[in-house]
Amino acid sequence: MSLRGQPVEQPVVLPDGRSLRVRVSVLDDPYIAKRELDTVSLELWSGDEALATVSTILEPAHVSEARALVREVAAGLESGELQPTAGALEPLASRVPEMP
């Protein structure tokens, strides 16, 4: 299993009541074969609208680490400690999350 075919997602509700979805996956590129893609992204979605997308240092095989990152981002968003912006996500995406 890898993030190429199995993205990690979790719905969240912000303190202001908005519902978002946190997603970690390998982004699609119609010009590159899926098996050759290796950029893992962290995204925030509101319905069909991407609010923020940042590249991570994770690799497609880092499924457990992706789950930990999604949980960490979701907890920060739900508590209000993390804003739903690319700038707020960048520090979290630039490290491998601690495993529980």
Q: List the chain domain ranges.
A: 8-88
Model confidence band, residue 34 (pLDDT cutoffs 50, 70, 90): confident
Q: Which of 52, 33, 34, 15 is nearest to 24 (CA)?
A: 52
| Cβ-based neighbour number of residue 74 at 10 Å | 19
Could you give the CA distance from residue 34 to residue 46 in angstroms, rounded to a whole number? Answer: 25
Per-residue three-class SS string for the chain? CCCCCCCEEEEEECCCCCEEEEEEEECCCCCCCHHHCCCEEEEEEECCEEEEEEECCCCCCCHHHHHHHHHHHHHHHHHCCCCCCHHHHHHHHCCCCCCC
| 14/36: higher pLDDT | 14
The pTM is what?
Answer: 0.92
pLDDT of amino acid 60: 94
pLDDT of amino acid 100: 65
pLDDT of amino acid 28: 80
Q: Is the pLDDT of residue 41 over 90?
A: yes
Model confidence band, residue 45 (pLDDT cutoffs 50, 70, 90): very high
